[in-house]
Structure 1
Amino acid sequence: MNNRYLTLLAILSLVSLSACTPTRVGDQVALNSPATWQHAPNTQTTETADLKTWWQGFNDPLLNELIDKALAANHDLKIATARVREANSMVIVAEAALYPSLDFSLSGGREKRIDRIVGVPSGQGIKLITPTADAVSGGLAARWEIDVFGGRHLEAEAAAAQAQGSQEGLHAAQVGLLAQVATNYLELRGVQQRIGILQNNIALQRERLRTLQVFLKAGLANEADLARQQTLLQGTEATLPGMTNAEQNLIHRLGVLLGEPPESLGNRLAVVSPLPKQAPAIPNLLPADLLAQRPDLRLAQTEVSAAAASLGSARADLYPKIVLSASGGLGAIAVGGFPSLADSIYALGSGLSAPIFNAGRIRAQITAADARLEQVAANYEKTFLLALEDVENAFVAHRSANDSLGKLTEAEASAEKAYRLVDTLYSRGAGNYLAVLDAQRSKLAVSDERAKAETAVGVAMVSLYRAFGGGWTVDSSVSGIDNESIVSRDKQ
């Protein structure tokens, strides 16, 4: 009896040791995060930017509708969602190895073999026969590998980290999708606005050509003036097909992003609409906030956690493994000519295995796992630097686009003023009609540049929100990411 208690106590002690996971490896990476942004605007806004639904700051109902449809039907999001389901299922597979397995078996059959000859008495002496045997057995079998050194636990942790990484991959796909839809929509409206300006410019140049033809007949112009105007008109007309092509390409891209055929939005988006006059507020976040908000950084962190757990699991292979097994059931056998036999059967056992010689396989696996951890740790550091670069570049692009838009808006006002002055002189008989057309054409050229700058401002704002990881919110209940993991990785 005492031996049984001692055995039970030993098993419970081994189970408790399995929770210690002595082969665990630290998964923290040292990151050098700057305190502030170098190119952020000097004037800090008190308005709080909504990172989750930032596109609503443009106050464009059609853009909101397009994004809602994209979130519901985009194929990249569907693929990413399926990957999350797959990874979550693999977590269950990995965690199942921590528990005992219980299997039911039932077998039966009849056999007659030449090597089983039996002698039976008969009237003529001993008669040799090959009897037919009927056997049936069934029962339950249990097996449990006690995870003393935490290898199985770490495998489950690696699977859980990979599942979290797939979730962050879904977030990253969503962030990219929102930025693509908004960027293509703004560029489409900008191109349509420029097409309208170009068509007005072509109409003006045709009017100027007609005027020069009239002047030529009246002896007030020469052939060279006419040829120059024809060349200018033809060059301007040549740019129209390219811009029309860009418009159609953007419409097609938006259709695919919404999970629809490319031409599905043709009729609706062909209706010209101005660029949104409003824009979201600039996010007021610090560089360290990227660790929590950007999905690619969160994904890189999960890769570090998974690699660290895999390294610990590989180290656990150096230590012994203990397996407990038990089986029991009923069995029956009947041999022709003899009474049948039925009885209960059972087996209890335990086993221990430890590596002694494997030609360096386990050590090589540990080295490979450690190298993998170094790779993903370096990738995490690199991803953080790229994220900082992404935000700084977005700040610079937004500021440059705003500066250009301001200057071009002033230039457009000056061109409008010049046109009105020339038109007034012409109406009073102190100027000529060609000067009026030239002033109006100059104004349209400036308006085209202003439209490009206005588009660039909106696209830069979209890029800024994409750089900050806007388009989703952090759910603390499933996060599992330490946003202040600024400590050195344990190399032991």
Structure 2
Amino acid sequence: MNNRYLAALTLLSQASLIACTPTRVGDQVALNSPATWQHAPNAQTAEKADLKTWWQGFDDPLLNELIDQALAANLDLKIATARVREANAMVTVAEAALYPSLDFSISGGREKRIDRIVGVPSGQGIKLITPTADAVSGGLAARWEIDLFGGRHLQAEAAAAQAEGSKEGLHAAQVGLLAQVTTNYLELRGVQQRTGILQSNIAVQRERLRTLQAFVKAGLANEADLARQQTLLQGTEAALPGLTSTGEKLIHRLGVLLGEPPESLGSRLTAVGPLPKQAPIMPNLLPADLLAQRPDLRLAQKEVSAAAAGLGSARADLYPKLVLSASGGLGALAVGGFPSLADSVYALGSGLSAPIFNAGRIRAHIAAADARLEQVAANYEKTFLLALEDVENAFVAHRSANDSLGKLTEAEASAEKAYRLVDALYQRGAGNYLAVLDAQRRKLDVSDERAKAETAVSVAMVSLYRAFGGGWIIASSDREMEKALAR
């Protein structure tokens, strides 16, 4: 009898491991992916861009240091890493339900009951006493719910998909972090460059004001010219505090991104540095490549898989459940001064249960899981459309900024030429000093616009790499991923 029972148990255990899951739901979502980009540059470079370390293309050692520090100390990454560990632990919890549970228990106690009277021989005859009983028992109990229709397996699959999704969330946080650090750093260098240009412009306008004051005293200019110059100078000076404040805020933001107090980077970044000139290579991925490269899309797909598994698990509740159980143990009883009595027991059992009436609870659970799957599927499609929008907008922004930079570079060269010609005439005595100052001021105004456009080109390139999902490393294990983050 025991052998046949064990054989049946073995067969059932093997069947549970290889059983098909009739309640499984497909997790494929059809996405309408365009074949090419609408606003991509016509001339694409043949060299393949390195999406993992794209920021190194700016060839700025300080930027590389800031990136390394952010990857090691950023608090958002630490939060996302902890979420990965939490999700991995929940996978173990879900998978544990697939296996038998074995529990050990032991209990003991002493009791004295007034309704139990025992006659004990004594020197004076039979003496009635209420004895004290000591009882001790212990044993093992095993229970196993056979996953006949795959509900438990699907729950484990849902937990595994959620764990994979948490890893993609970590990757997405890394992509966003790298883009934020680089963007803020480039904008800071652009602001510092513009601040220097503005200070030069203020110096030129102050010189022009002093010259006009001298001309007014000499009768060569009138008070109206002097008032206009004062107004121009004061307006230009009013722009300086705004630029200074913007630079300080960018430094504070970088400090927080690097996991430090806002003011911690002041000494390292207050010193004016050049705007990085060398830009990374233009990414040349196709729209369909975003599905594998962008972490937010991979996360959305994992959410679909988890929801599909959850729906299948909910449907499995409609089917019967088979439970196997076994228990065994020893017990001892000692009453008064009598010898203790020991006994051993064991029990084997099985049970089958099926839902008949539950006031619609199971059907409602299935409807909720189905609605959840519909939500995440729609979110997957929406996320893909937003990803396409990100890339197209980044292409447009880069092209627009690049066109502006080209025109402003030409305008700056023309303004520089005009300034040199006017200055040459003045040096030969054939020109006016005020004309020299005006030409210099116009050149500085164009230089400021050129600096803004140059910053915009670099920031648009960063947006492109972020839109393509650049900046995360596919690791084969959590340990390798943590090493990559701590490098």
The one-letter amino acid paired with 2:78 is: K
The alignment status of 1:16 with 2:44, answered yes or no, reads no
Question: How far does the alpha carbon of each residue in 1:137-180 deviate from its partner, in whole angstroms, 9 at most, with x for none?
Answer: 12221111111111111111111001001000000000000000
Amino acid in the other structure paired with 1:16:
A
What secondary structure is seen at the aligned counterpart in 2 of 1:105? strand
Aligned equivalents of 1:369, 1:127: Cα separation in 2: 71
Partner of residue 485, structure 1: none
Residues 143 and 326 in structure 1, CA contact (< 8 A), matched pair in contact too? yes
What is the deviation of 1:14?
A: 6.7
**Aligned twin of 1:288:** 288
Q: CA deviation at 1:352?
A: 1.4
Distance 1:367 1:11, change over 3 A: farther
Q: CA deviation at 1:430?
A: 1.2
Amino acid at match of 2:278: Q
Cα 1:320–1:14 change in 2 (3 A) is farther
Partner of 2:156: 156
Question: Is 1:385 aligned to residue 381 of structure 2?
Answer: no
> 1:102-181 residue pairs with structure 2 within 5 A?
102-118=102-118, 128-181=128-181
Amino acid at match of 2:35: A
Residues 118 and 129, structure 2, Cα contact 8 Å, conserved in 1: yes
Aligned 8 A contact 1:292 1:474 in 2 = no
Report the Cα distance in structure 2 between the residues aligned to 1:335 and 1:126, rounded to whole angstroms: 18
Please say which of residues 139-148 and 282-291 is displaced more in the overlay: 139-148
Distance 1:10 1:138, change over 3 A: closer
Q: Which amino acid aligns with 1:84?
A: V
Amino acid at match of 2:132: T
User: What TM-score do the two structures reach when normalised by structure 1?
Assistant: 0.94
Tell whether 2:74 aligns with 1:87.
no
SS at match of 1:345: strand
Q: Which residue of the partner structure matches residue 98 of structure 1?
A: 98
Partner of 1:186: 186
Greater displacement, 376-385 / 326-335: 326-335
Indicate the SS of the match to 1:20. Answer: coil
Change (3 A) 1:86 1:234: same
Alpha-carbon contact 1:77-1:170 (below 8 Å) kept: yes
Cα pair 2:98 2:153 within 8 Å, conserved:
yes
Deviations 1:314-342 (A, max 9, x none): 11111111111111122111111433101
Are residues 1:340 and 2:340 paired? yes
In structure 2, the partner of 1:454 is: 454
> Residue in 1 aligned with 2:257?
257
| 1:354 shift after superposition | 1.1
Distance 1:359 1:58, change over 3 A: same
Matched to 1:269, the amino acid is L
Matched-pair contact (CA < 8 Å) for 2:322–2:350: yes
CA contact (8 A) 2:16 2:146 kept: no
C-alpha change, 1:323 and 1:119, in structure 2 (3 Å) is farther
SS of corresponding position for 2:292:
helix
Look up the match of 2:481.
none
1:242 aligned partner, one-letter code: G
Look up the match of 2:483. Answer: none
Other-structure match for 1:223: 223
Give, as a single letter, the amino acid of the residue that structure 1 aligns with 2:7.
L
Q: Secondary structure of the residue that 2:148 maps to in structure 1? A: coil
The equivalent residue for 1:39 is 39
The aligned counterpart of 1:352 is: 352
5 Å matches for 1:43-58? 43-58=43-58
Given that 1:208 and 1:437 are in contact with CA atoms closer than 8 Å, whether structure 2 keeps it comes out as yes
- Given residue 375 of structure 2, which amino acid in structure 1 is its aligned partner? Q
Aligned to 2:433: 433
Structure 1: gaps (5+ residues): 479-492
Q: Aligned partners of 1:196 and 1:290: how far apart in 2?
A: 41
Separation of aligned partners in 1, 2:237 and 2:249: 20
Taking a change above 3 Å as real, the CA distance of residues 476 and 82 of structure 1, as seen in their structure-2 partners, is closer
CA gap of 1:349–1:9, structure 2 versus 1, over 3 A, is: closer
Residue type of the alignment partner of 2:24? R
Distance 1:163 1:254 in 2: 30
What is the rounded CA distance, in whole Å, between the counterparts of 2:244 and 2:439 in structure 1? Answer: 26
C-alpha distance in structure 1 between counterparts of 2:129 and 2:141, whole Å: 36
1:395 is displaced (CA, Å) by 0.4
For the residue of structure 1 that corresponds to 2:348, the secondary structure is strand
CA apart distance, 1:124: 7.7
| One-letter amino acid of the counterpart of residue 428, structure 2 | R
Q: Which residue of 1 aligns with 2:307?
A: 307
1:483 is matched with: none
- Aligned partner of 2:247 in structure 1 is 247
SS at match of 1:111: strand
Contact residue 209 and residue 226 of structure 1 kept, 8 A:
yes
Q: Shift of residue 5 of structure 1? A: 3.0
The one-character-per-residue Cα deviations of 1:234-258 (angstroms, maximum 9, x if unpaired) are: 1110110010000000011111111
CA shift in 2, pair 1:203/1:98, >3 Å: same
Across the aligned residues of Structure 1 and Structure 2, the Cα RMSD in angstroms comes to 1.7
Offset, 1:22: 1.3
Instruction: Quote the Cα distance in structure 2 between the aligned partners of 1:77 and 1:417.
Output: 51
Query: 1:15, 1:147 within 8 Å by CA — same for their partners in 2?
Result: no
Instruction: State the AA in 1 paired with 2:59.
Output: N
The answer (yes or no) to whether the contact 2:311–2:369 under 8 Å persists in 1 is yes
Q: Secondary structure at the match of 1:412?
A: helix
Whether the 8 Å contact between 1:322 and 1:350 is mirrored in structure 2 is: yes
Provide the identity percentage. 87
Distance 1:252 1:40 in 2: 35
Q: 1:177 to 1:15 in 2, by over 3 A?
A: same
* 8 Å contact kept, 1:14–1:148: no
Provide closer, same or farther for how the CA distance between residues 6 and 339 of structure 1 changes in structure 2, counting only shifts above 3 A.
closer
Q: 1:128 to 1:359 in 2, by over 3 A?
A: farther
What does residue 443 of structure 1 align with? Answer: 443
Cα separation, 1, equivalents of 2:9 and 2:476: 40
Q: What's the CA shift for 1:116?
A: 3.5
Kept after mapping to 1: 8 A contact 2:323/2:352: yes
Counterpart in the other structure of 1:400: 400
Kept in 2: contact 1:331–1:343 (CA 8 A): yes
> 12-21 or 159-168: which moved more?
12-21
**Stretches of structure 2 lacking an aligned partner (at least 5 in a row):** 479-487
Distance in 2, matches of 1:27 and 1:55, equals 36
Residue aligning to 2:63: 63
| Alignment-derived partner of residue 4 in structure 2 | 5
Distance 1:243 1:31, change over 3 A: same
Q: Is the 8 A contact 1:15 1:146 kept in 2?
A: no
Residue 129 (structure 1) shift: 3.3
Distance of 2:426 and 2:417 partners within structure 1: 14
CA–CA distance in structure 2, aligned partners of residues 475 and 90 of structure 1 = 21
Q: Distance in 2 between matches of 1:108 and 1:11?
A: 35
